[in-house]
Amino acid sequence: MHDCCLLLFLHPRRVAVAGASGRMGRMLIEAILASGDLQLAGALDVAGSPAMGQDAAAFLGQNTGVAITADLRAGLADADVLIDFTRPEGTLAHAAVCTELGVQMVIGTTGFSEEQKRQLQQAAETIALVLAPNMSVGVNVTLKLLQQAARALDDSYDIEVIEAHHKHKVDAPSGTALKMGEVIAQAQGTRLADRAVYERYGHTGERKSGSIGFATVRGGDIVGDHTVLFAGTGERLEITHKSSSRAGYAQGSLRAVRFLAGQRSGMYDMFDVLGLQD
């Protein structure tokens, strides 16, 4: 039995959820309660939420004894790890308290600036955290496939990243789309910042060789679709992942929680969690 599995067997991990009354928060709470090896220990939300003070699992018709609170220290007091799919500013506020209390983090929040990422890296000097723009196991296997494809295909293949999400998503391109571009660029020994094209309008001229284009679609209740197109002469390769629900994100997050049982500090991603690192 692996060390982390033994730890989970002896001491079930106590998990708090940020954004507990949101769609992702509820999916995470339901997954934790159904897991059999994890325990719901806290539920956080912003002050003024209609769910404030309610049992975290009231939407399931269950009573867990864990009330939704805006008090970070109270919500984290009994937790080993916090799962956070909120906004960058909220996640950083949570990270400050988690660092103080020694609570690990699984972060699926997207839209961080470079400075905000540095702040999380500083937190990782004290606590262990998993930071990934997409917790889905399938998406991360897709990233590995993109890495392999990018290494095998030369610069005669034009690369486009097309993503689609629901109308309420506030950042674009999606964190997952950006991660796909980063993985491709790194696999080819370059930087995405030197190759990315995010806008096309008017007389753009011919496509610049080596560029990585991004196209964004927003509408309806699309959970998340991502396609990377490698367009060559006489052929094209498309690698696609489509999410039909947030369940995949929740299950990947729980795998990250289990992975952290064996870590003291440091920043990890889903390649670490899934054993996909080279």
Cβ-based neighbours of 27, under 8 Å, separated by 6 or more: 245, 246, 247, 249, 250
User: Which residues are tagged catalytic?
Assistant: 165, 169
DSSP state letters, 46-72: -TT-TTTTSBTTGGGT---S-BEES-H
* CA distance linking residue 113 with residue 110, whole number of Å: 9
**Exposed, middle or buried: residue 113 (CB in 10 Å: 0-12, 13-18, 19+)?**
exposed
- Which of 215, 214, 132, 217 has its CA nearest to residue 166? 217
* CA distance linking residue 212 with residue 180, whole number of Å: 10
